[in-house]
Amino acid sequence: MSGAHHGTEGIEDLLRELAPQVLAALVRRHGAFDECEDAVQEALLAAALQWPGTGTPDNPRGWLVTVASRRLVDQVRSEAARRRREDALALATPQSALLAQAADTVPAADRDDSLALLFLCCHPALSTPSRIALTLRAVGGLTTAQIAAAFLVPEPTMAQRISRAKQAVKTAGTALSLPEGPEGAERLAEVRHVLYLIFNEGYTTTGGTELTAPELSTEAIRLTRLLHRLVPEDAETAGLLALMLLTDARRPARTGPGGELVPLAEQDRGRWDRRLIAEGVDLISRTLPRGRVGPYQLQAAIAAVHDEAEHADATDWPQILALYDLLEQYGPNAMISLNRAVAVAMTRGPAAALDLLEKLGSDKRMARHHRLLATRAHLLEMLGRHEAAAHAYREAARRTGSAPERRHLIRRAHRLESAACPGPGTP
């Protein structure tokens, strides 16, 4: 043992960084993803309990690999009478290899298979919610309880989702390997999408009493940094990381003292995280000139334009509209089209934007979406049609599952209704 005491928070950060490396090492050595994942969780728990008192080992990764391997052997031994799997594991892992190693040593040949593990957790056989849950548990090192709390579901429900995901991976029989060619590019895109969804849920929760779930957006950024480190030449991964940084920089100003939602145009930009903005702008500035521009890079560029404006009126809306025009060329996306309509309103006027919303309203998935209704309300308000705007705000409030968003929309409606119907004695 090194005797170094990092503190509880430092140890937690270290364990989450090492979790995917340890799991990948076990899966490559032994197979059996589901059993390996359980063993790693036990090793992480043991470390969390022991290290604050005894100090962090000289080789914390090796300690975790060895302890998890021993837990894995214990699991198999306890089931050997019923499942007869001990012989298969013994062939893959000689007893001497387990008994001879100290708990803080690991063969130098062990490699970091974190990227392959990300691919495995985002396997096409899994549903999107399962990919998210398995990624957060296996690669993020979060406990089932932490994931359940973040997504506002009961812990048994999340445990079942993770268990089904692990069983699906087992049934698919996928090895821990990196697919090549078109399949590799497709799987990498799926990993990016999962991380993007995790970030979005953290930045604006789909339900509950809080506007944001910072632990999710922070974890998404951490995992995207890991992915960027593993594939440094992939421009879209760099773009995704830049997008997260530039967006998360605004989080401190998105809520007021009482937790109320503060729209972008009304935020105190002095509260934005300038360190994240500088990092995000530098990253996207170095990525865009490579010439392989994709949707995440364009969204990051849009976020950079917003973040670099000193105040709302200084926003370069024509540039933002031009970027949205490029973004729409990558295929239909209702939310992108909705955001583009706002840029149209700011450059060509709200009437032109309302015409675009009419087309979006023909999409059954969007017709009753609260964000479409809220955008329509904002455009009607810009046109001075306050009664119609108030009605649209209230309809949007009924459609959202987020309590802070609902309160914000109701306040907007109430303000317009109060202005239209002044009380007695009002001049």
Nearest to 406, CA basis, from 416, 417, 394: 394
Report pLDDT for 112: 62
Instruction: Give per-residue pLDDT as tens, 172-182.
Output: 877 777 888 88
- Going by pLDDT thresholds of 50, 70 and 90, the confidence category of residue 107 is very low
Report pLDDT for 207: 78
Q: Which residue has the higher pLDDT, 77 or 421?
A: 77
139 pLDDT higher than 70: yes
Quickly count: other Cβ atoms within 10 Å of residue 268's Cβ.
Answer: 10
List, in sequence order, every residue forming a beta bridge with 56; answer none if it has no partner. Answer: 4
Report pLDDT for 89: 53
102 pLDDT higher than 90: no
Least reliable range by pLDDT among 64-73, 107-116, 317-326? 107-116
Let me know if 209 is exposed, middle or buried by CB neighbors in 10 A (0-12, 13-18, 19+). Answer: exposed
Instruction: Give per-residue pLDDT as tens, 17-50.
Output: 899 999 999 988 888 888 899 999 999 999 999 9
- Going by pLDDT thresholds of 50, 70 and 90, the confidence category of residue 83 is low
For residue 373, what are its two tokens?
């209704």
The mean per-residue pLDDT over the stretch 90-107 comes to 45
Report pLDDT for 341: 96
Report pLDDT for 79: 63
Instruction: Give per-residue pLDDT as tens, 146-193.
Output: 888 888 789 999 999 999 999 888 888 777 778 888 888 999 999 999
CA distances from 425 to 387, 421, 422 (A): 22, 12, 8
CA distances from 146 to 200, 345, 357, 383, 396 (A): 17, 41, 39, 45, 31
Its pTM stands at: 0.83
Q: Residue ranges per domain, the chain?
A: 8-100, 114-360
For residue 288, what are its two tokens?
């865009």
- Going by pLDDT thresholds of 50, 70 and 90, the confidence category of residue 267 is very high
Least reliable range by pLDDT among 83-92, 293-302, 415-424? 83-92
Report pLDDT for 264: 96
Which residue in this structure is represented by tokens 């690669």?
139
The mean per-residue pLDDT over the stretch 313-317 comes to 97
Report pLDDT for 110: 46
Instruction: Give per-residue pLDDT as tens, 356-399.
Output: 999 888 877 787 889 999 999 999 999 999 999 999 999 999 99
Share of the chain above pLDDT 90, in %: 59
Let me know if 165 is exposed, middle or buried by CB neighbors in 10 A (0-12, 13-18, 19+). Answer: buried
Please state the length of the chain: 427
Helix runs in 288-402, H state only: 295-308, 317-328, 334-348, 350-360, 364-367, 370-382, 386-399
73 pLDDT higher than 70: yes
Instruction: Give per-residue pLDDT as tens, 239-256.
Output: 999 999 999 999 999 999
3-state secondary structure of 402: strand
Instruction: Give per-residue pLDDT as tens, 273-289.
Output: 999 999 999 999 999 99
CA angle 1, 110, 98 (to 5 degrees): 60
Report pLDDT for 420: 67
Q: Are the C-beta atoms of 216 and 150 separated by less than 8 Å?
A: yes
What does the alpha-carbon distance between residue 235 and residue 289 come to, in Å, rounded to a whole number?
Answer: 10
Q: What is the mean pLDDT of the chain?
A: 87
List, in sequence order, every residue forming a beta bridge with 4; answer none if it has no partner. Answer: 56
- Going by pLDDT thresholds of 50, 70 and 90, the confidence category of residue 100 is very low
CA angle 13, 18, 23 (to 5 degrees): 140
339 pLDDT higher than 60: yes
Q: Are the C-beta atoms of 35 and 79 separated by less than 8 Å?
A: no
